[in-house]
Amino acid sequence: MPFRKPDDEGARPTDVTETLVAMGTTTGAMSVVWDADQAVTALYSANYRALVRLAAMLVRDLGTAEEVVQDAFVAMHGGWRRLRDPDKALSYLRQSVVNRSRSVLRHRAVVEKYAPKGLPDAPSAEAGAIGELERSAVVDALHRLPARQREALVLRYYADLSEAEIAQSMGISRGAVKSHTARGMAAMRNVLEQFT
């Protein structure tokens, strides 16, 4: 895979073999000694930023992307002697970065899936006290109503019954239910306005 030499901005593209030969790592006329330190250093200098950009696009986090690329270089250095074709080292690195990025994303998904859920926000003590006062005021206002109005309101708003069901429960007509409900609401409104 072509890349540029680290210290020469205008250099022509070369491959790993040419770089290592230029560094003086040959032992014979055509044989090349693949020194992991020199090869990985050359690849790192030439391709680190591009590989970090690739990983960052995949994992959406620069710090994690740098770790992924560093791990890929460490793995390549450790397995350099097992690399069948050193000229394809950059391809190996890219594939390693992509695979490690996938692993990071899978790990994130598992962590998010099993992350403990936060407790819901509890109301403040003031909110609880105010709510209790409001409830007690509503209950007091409800107890001041005549029995039929109180029954109609409780069946309508507490039991959530329809007008027909309320009429049947109370043994009165639907019109009488509407009348008792309207009068009860008006009376409660007057009492609650005095409270506030």
- CA distance readout (Å), 9 to 4, 18, 43, 51: 8, 17, 15, 19
Give the whole-angstrom CA distance, residue 40 versus residue 91: 13
The answer on pLDDT for 119 being more than 80 is no
Cβ–Cβ < 8 Å for 178, 124: no
Give whichever of 83-87, 133-137, 174-178 has the largest mean pLDDT: 174-178
Q: How confident is the model at residue 8 (pLDDT cuts 50, 70, 90)?
A: very low
Which tokens belong to 15?
């491959």
Fold of 134-195: Arc Repressor Mutant, subunit A (1.10.10)
For 153-173, what is each residue's pLDDT tens digit?
Answer: 988 988 889 999 999 989 999
Query: With pLDDT > 70 as the criterion, what percentage of the chain qualifies?
Result: 82
pTM listed for this prediction: 0.47
Q: Which residue has the tokens 């008006």?
A: 186
Cβ–Cβ < 8 Å for 169, 148: no
Cβ-in-10-Å burial (0-12, 13-18, 19+) of 170 comes to: middle
Cβ–Cβ < 8 Å for 5, 47: no
For 134-150, what is each residue's pLDDT tens digit?
Answer: 888 888 888 889 989 99
Sorted by where each begins, the domain ranges of the chain are 35-115, 134-195
